[in-house]
Amino acid sequence: MFFRIVSALLVTLSPVVLYFAATRLSVVHAALVVGGFIVFRTAVKALVTRREHLRGLLPLPIVAIACAILGAIVNDARFLLVLPSVFQFAFAGVFFSSLRKGSEMPLVERFARMQETHLTPAKARYCRTVTWVWAAILAVSGIFGLLLAYFASPAVWAIASGIGPYALVVVVFAIEFCVRQIRFREDRRNFAQRALFRLFPNPLPAEATGPNE
């Protein structure tokens, strides 16, 4: 649990480290700081990752370190600022790849089946749609980050990259939760569900609310 918390904190601090390195240090020193931070963050993440999944940790840190080295070679700190977008594109790729033909199942459906083994066809289609939504949002967010890295000031980039993606995730999760509850009327009547059901009292189609198949 301790290393999981540390790993989450390091991810949260990444934009701060990037901003400090890109604005307060020379490009070479910034590349060293960012590269060292990425190595340390990956090492902590490896402590809480199953052995069979360790190989999957390597591609992103390798790309990130390559960007840092390239920034130092061409003496351009903007190569460091693209790193959050690189990670967002990678996560978008994970969502998109789970939607391709021949894939076992969409990523959101895989998570849903951890809580509910048997999903109705309506819920399975809903999970596929949500997977598309997350993939598109992450891709667009990555493109927006690239534009900020190259055309905005480091201060604007730091605010947008440090707050924007986390705020976006919270907003999308909240909207998706509301849509899911209104559509499928799950029975766990917590405060949020009771409030939603008062606002949207109409019954749903039988396909969405019927028993699991």
Q: What is this structure's pTM?
A: 0.76
Whether residue 119 is found in the same domain as residue 178: yes
- CB within 8 Å of 109: residues ≥ 6 apart: 119, 124, 127, 128, 131
Whether residue 58 is found in the same domain as residue 154: no
Cα 45 to Cα 53: distance, rounded to the nearest angstrom: 11
The pLDDT assigned to 60 comes to 80
Q: How many residues does the chain have?
A: 213
Residue range of the domain that includes 6: 1-81
Bigger pLDDT: 45 or 191? 45
pLDDT, averaged across the chain: 81
Residues 176-213 as b/e (b if ≥16 CB within 10 A, e otherwise) read bebebbbbeeeeeeeeebeebeeeeeeeeeeebeeeee
The tally of CA atoms less than 13 A away on the side-chain side of residue 194 is 3
The pLDDT assigned to 78 comes to 81
The pLDDT assigned to 27 comes to 87
Q: Which of 81, 96, 125 is the last residue of a domain?
A: 81
Q: Is the pLDDT of residue 24 over 90?
A: no
Whether residue 29 is found in the same domain as residue 8: yes
Cα angle 117, 119, 125; round to 5: 135
Whether residue 124 is found in the same domain as residue 100: yes
pLDDT digits (tens, 9 = 90+) for 92-128: 998 999 998 777 789 999 988 888 878 888 888 999 9
Q: Pick the most confident of 36-50, 53-67, 136-150.
A: 136-150
Q: Is the pLDDT of residue 136 over 90?
A: yes
Return phi, psi of residue 122, to 5°: -65, -40
Bigger pLDDT: 26 or 186? 26
User: In which element (H, E) is residue 4 found?
Assistant: helix 2-24
State how many domains the chain has: 2
Q: Pick the most confident of 1-5, 166-170, 197-201.
A: 166-170
Bigger pLDDT: 177 or 89? 89
Lowest-pLDDT choice from 107-121, 137-151, 155-169: 155-169
**Closest Cα partner for 18 from 162, 151, 152?**
162
Whether residue 36 is found in the same domain as residue 120: no
Q: Is the pLDDT of residue 73 over 70?
A: yes
% of the chain at pLDDT higher than 70: 85
Q: Which of 60, 81, 102 is the last residue of a domain?
A: 81
Cα 46 to Cα 53: distance, rounded to the nearest angstrom: 9
